Amino acid sequence: MPDGPAAPVRFRPHHFLCALGFEGKGYSGRFVANMAGIVEGLRDAPDTAIEVVAESDDICTPCPKRRETACLNEMRIAALDRRHARALALEPGEVLSWEEAQARMRARVSPGDLAVLCVGCSWLAQGMCEGALARLHGAEASGGDT
């Protein structure tokens, strides 16, 4: 008997750009392993469905800062989510593929926008997400895929 479609991966709005820029770093070994598995799955299968949620998601599951369905830094994280949801036109409950998410990031977020979108993010200064966003825009200019 064939399996039905897989349940969508659940993402808070700011995790779309986090997944784009992920380079194997994180808050703990368990967190990194979990996020690596999610990101590799998206890169291997860009048609993977992602559901937008307004609380802790599949990336947050092993995070040491997670507190039930929220974050130890919930006020800062909720502000990140609001800015990202507005920039990417995301609504809780919306489902889109990783391929569609990348197209939306490419269309709606320009290199340099992260200085405002991601203000307060401890990873911003490392430049991983900015570099990934620039590569995403470069792939568009060259006609390639990411």
pLDDT digits (tens, 9 = 90+) for 43-74: 999 999 999 999 889 988 877 777 787 777 88
Rounded to an integer, the average pLDDT of 15-29 is 90
Q: How confident is the model at residue 2 (pLDDT cuts 50, 70, 90)?
A: low
pLDDT value at position 146? 44
Decide the pairing of beta strands 95-97 and 49-52. antiparallel
Q: How confident is the model at residue 26 (pLDDT cuts 50, 70, 90)?
A: confident
Percent of the chain residues past pLDDT 90, beyond the cut: 59
Instruction: Return the closest-CA partner of residue 108 out of 127, 144, 83.
Output: 83
- Is the overall model pTM greater than 0.85, yes or no? yes
Rounded to an integer, the average pLDDT of 109-138 is 90
Instruction: Return the closest-CA partner of residue 23 out of 141, 111, 116, 127.
Output: 127
Calpha distance 57→38 (Å, rounded): 11
* Residue 120: pLDDT over 90: no
